[in-house]
Amino acid sequence: MTIHVFGNKFRAKAPAPAGAPPTGAAPGVDPTALANAQREVQIANAKAAQAVREAEELRRKAQEADAERERSMVRTAVTNAAAKARALNPDHVVALRAADFIVHNGKVVSKADPARDVDVCLAEFFGGDGKYLLAPAVPGGGSGAPATQVVQQSQPADLSTNEGLTRLTRQLTHAMFSPPTKAAAPAAQGAPAGTKPAGT
């Protein structure tokens, strides 16, 4: 009798065959239906995990797109400000200063002080350490036109002084190497009264 009971307990602890429905189900529950429900739960969990991964990927791509859009706004703003200040190479200014700016409320402003926009910051920069990045100013008001030479009326040279001798030498040199001026030809309005044509 004791041996038979021990054998029954041993057989009860043996693992169920593969693919067999779960044992120990509540009374009135179909073990096959329970197994199918568990598989459906696992599939739903897997789909939910996949959806979470896809959402994370979409969020990452959106963040990268926003960051690239802001970088493009900063590059454009710095380039425009550098061109406005007549920088020799606006791209060089972008490489030097673009990292100092961010986009805040739709405007490109200083990263250190969002109250100051890109134009103000770069104007101060070009007025100080960044002055070497600007094109040289054009003499005569910056219009690019050659400066007008003022011709002074020559004064008689005082040959008793070195300054007078130098001035005389300059005047003579100028007279020797300057192109001759063309005299205005008299208009032929007819011979003066009482003058006979040549050969008569």
Q: Which range has the worst mean pLDDT, 25-29, 116-120, 156-160, 168-172? A: 156-160
Write down the pLDDT at residue 45: 95
pLDDT tens, position by position, 117-144: 999 999 999 999 999 999 887 655 454 4
d(CA 47, CA 5): 47
d(CA 122, CA 85): 9
pLDDT tens, position by position, 27-62: 677 888 889 999 999 999 999 999 999 999 999 999
DSSP 3-state of 122: helix
d(CA 137, CA 126): 13
- Percent pLDDT > 70 in the chain is 55
Q: Give residue 6's pLDDT band: very low, low, confident or very high (50, 70, 90).
A: very low
